[in-house]
Structure 1
Amino acid sequence: MSGHGTPIPMTSRPCGPLKGEAHVPGDKSISHRSLILGALAVGETRIQGLLEGEDVLDTAKAMRAFGAEVTNHGGGSWSVHGVGVGGFAEPDTVIDCGNSGTGVRLIMGCMASSNITATFTGDASLNSRPMARVTDPIALFGAQSVGRAGGRLPMTIVGAADPVPVHYEVPMPSAQVKSAVLLAALNAPGQTVVIEKEATRDHTERMLAGFGAEISTEVTDAGRVITLTGQPELKAQDIVVPRDPSSAAFPVCAAVVTPGSDVLVPNIGLNPTRAGLFTTLREMGADLTYENEREEGGEPVADLRAKFSPDLKGIAVDPTRAASMIDEYPVLSVVAAFAAGDTVMKGVKELRVKESDRIDAMAKGLRANGVTVEEGDDWWVVKGLGHGNVPGGATCASQLDHRIAMSFMILGMAAQNPVSVDDGGPIATSFPIFERLMADLGARVERSES
């Protein structure tokens, strides 16, 4: 069952060439951070191109609950009148973050160093995900947390009355954890130092600097060392949100595996900590090119052109690239099914604790559709069948996970038989226009009888 309502079964049928332009939604990571940092700034932050999926809308509601004035002006145009660092009010109600691990973890971080209390919950998927990875480091600032067994939501956070700066080494590659610590550090006096052994997406660092925080990053033998000076006055900004590379992954991968396709995806953010999928696809032999490369708002941007690529080859994906494409492994595994030979993906244990166990979900669904998959705790191998040889024909469990549901919809476009999912409802959390966008390109994705 969808975390936001009645299940919506969907079926994707084999289709003709995909053609046209795919205008995907704004970047989800940057949309969350725009609202949160806007709420912590002084003045009015104006945002263009905000992703209006359920995850981001839940973050907007949360910022209102903490006292910021958040206004939707229509057409992706929003404004946030911030309350300043340390200015959060105590919410009157429980903060419901829906399906968003990013939202809840970042919000926990930014309220942890304020002398207020807040209770967080989410849908069934989010309430099953581990929060100790955030509550452990924010405890170092002086925050306290009480939740269900295993560090699960619902959970109450009591912010630190007298926060202290910390020195923290992130134990796993996680932009959410790193960002939660940096946001908590904003209201702590002195310098907080965060070390990550493996680089993860750096939107938080870039945006903090843009809002006026004193933050520096140094690459050392120990990893990336990020130093933030607490208690700045963040200044409101005008933000144009680039389009989401994680959402672009779906029309791009669909074009690569569907015969005759030629799809242009404009204005995609190509932050090097996010673009690992596109590098990997090129290594597999995908016809993928960047056009009109430029920089907007401190982020590299380009138009992506993806064409049908009949001679894809399985490869061993560089495990050091995992952090830059962790959300894209499900749809990469679909592309791998149409490649010749094995695609080996290692160093991906983070996939086990996403909205679902994504390795398990994709392995079960691919096997049901005639593809052989081997897996371990932090690795999996898809044994590709080559173009035109994936049987399809099965119904897969989306496991309340938007990326699982969309990945199997892509599989159905190029398989021999239709592919279905039991619930496509979660797609709305990140890509509310997915069905219409894919249909406009020529795909045959439809809602089916439950």
Structure 2
Amino acid sequence: MSKSVPPPSVYPHVAAGWVLLCAGLAIGESRISGLGAAGDNDGLIAALCALGTTARKDKDGSWVIAGRGIGAIIEPGDVIPVGGDRWQLAALAGLLGSHPVFAVLAGVAVVGNNLPPVLRAAGARVQLPASGGMPMTIAGARDAVPIEISLATTDADIAVTALVAGLNARGTTRIAFAGAGLPSPLADGISVLRRFGAEISDTIEDGHRVIRLRGQPDLRCQNITIAGPLVIAVDGP
């Protein structure tokens, strides 16, 4: 029987993006149904395929995503477009920065001033135009370093980058937020990562919201239905 899991976000494409990302990093085939209800994620699927994931759309409209496992992405053969999707930029930057690959991200999404330092803290080399915009060139870390960072709840993009980079870091990534709040994109990520088998904690410590992620987990493939704009039904592995 399916178990309904309401994503905390009102942005269903972000929750669906986390599902696609985790499916692309899991070992084996995940089946995702109802993806069309969560907005346009074709760009993310194409980006994951450029990194070695395979994806096909079945006749029933569901997507079958076959991942290679964390640490096993390949170097893309071309520029990866991210358009104006800031979540996609943040997630892909964290993924590329924590793997030993060279990649260029292009688009019109805004690159925050704090994004490159987070990638460098993980061990990546990052180059941007003098204007500070796109494209972003990333030479990923050979042995990603877990990040410990304190953020405001408005720093959702930075938190997403740090969390995704932590997946391939050898150790525990720690993200602390002032106060008890949590950005919706990160809340979605925590829920989906747990479903795929990541070891991640979410606690309140001395008035701060603290997220800890143990790096290099073996994510397990899943069968997932996007049941509506605010519900993800998980059917089990």
TM range (shorter): 0.7 to 0.9
Cα offset for 1:54?
Answer: 7.5
**Partners of 1:105 and 1:234 in 2: CA distance:** 20
* CA distance 1:28–1:194, shift in 2 (3 Å): same
**Partners of 1:115 and 1:137 in 2: CA distance:** 16
Matches within 5 A, 1:398-413: none
**Partners of 1:27 and 1:49 in 2: CA distance:** 11
Moved over 6 A (4+): none
Matches within 5 A, 1:376-391: none
| Structure 1: gaps (5+ residues) | 1-25, 245-267, 270-294, 299-450
- Find the residue that maps to 2:210 and give its secondary structure: strand
Matches within 5 A, 1:335-346: none
Q: 1:117 aligns with which of 102, 126, 147?
A: 102
Cα offset for 1:30?
Answer: 1.6
**Structure whose alpha-carbon radius of gyration is higher:** 1
Letter in 2 for 1:241: I
* CA distance 1:162–1:78, shift in 2 (3 Å): same
Deviations 1:191-216 (A, max 9, x none): 11111223111010111111111111
The answer for the alignment partner of 2:114 in structure 1 is 133
The answer for the alignment partner of 1:101 in structure 2 is 86
Cα offset for 1:76?
Answer: 4.2
The answer for the alignment partner of 1:160 in structure 2 is 141
**Aligned residues with identical type, % of pairs:** 30
Contact 2:224–2:233, Cα closer than 8 Å, also in 1: no
TM-score by length of 1: 0.46
- Find the residue that maps to 2:170 and give its secondary structure: coil
- Find the residue that maps to 2:114 and give its secondary structure: helix
Contact 1:27–1:242, Cα closer than 8 Å, also in 2: no
Q: 1:181 aligns with which of 154, 162, 170?
A: 162
* CA distance 1:42–1:29, shift in 2 (3 Å): same
The answer for the alignment partner of 2:50 in structure 1 is 65
**Partners of 2:47 and 2:215 in 1: CA distance:** 23
Q: 2:29 aligns with which of 44, 47, 51?
A: 44
**Partners of 2:172 and 2:95 in 1: CA distance:** 16
- Give me the CA root mean square deviation: 2.1
Deviations 1:63-95 (A, max 9, x none): 000000011225541111001001110000000
Contact 1:54–1:98, Cα closer than 8 Å, also in 2: no
- Find the residue that maps to 1:153 and give its secondary structure: coil
Deviations 1:297-318 (A, max 9, x none): 49xxxxxxxxxxxxxxxxxxxx
* CA distance 1:52–1:211, shift in 2 (3 Å): same
The answer for the alignment partner of 1:199 in structure 2 is 182
Letter in 2 for 1:210: R
Contact 1:55–1:103, Cα closer than 8 Å, also in 2: no
Moved more, 165-174 or 93-102: 165-174
* CA distance 1:207–1:152, shift in 2 (3 Å): same
Cα offset for 1:174?
Answer: 3.5
Cα offset for 1:172?
Answer: 4.8
**Partners of 1:196 and 1:114 in 2: CA distance:** 26
- Find the residue that maps to 2:58 and give its secondary structure: strand
Deviations 1:379-405 (A, max 9, x none): xxxxxxxxxxxxxxxxxxxxxxxxxxx
**Partners of 2:61 and 2:115 in 1: CA distance:** 30
Contact 1:212–1:235, Cα closer than 8 Å, also in 2: yes
| Structure 2: gaps (5+ residues) | 1-10
The answer for the alignment partner of 2:128 in structure 1 is 147
* CA distance 1:80–1:169, shift in 2 (3 Å): same
Cα offset for 1:57?
Answer: 0.6
- Find the residue that maps to 1:137 and give its secondary structure: helix
Cα offset for 1:49?
Answer: 1.0
Equivalenced residue count is 221
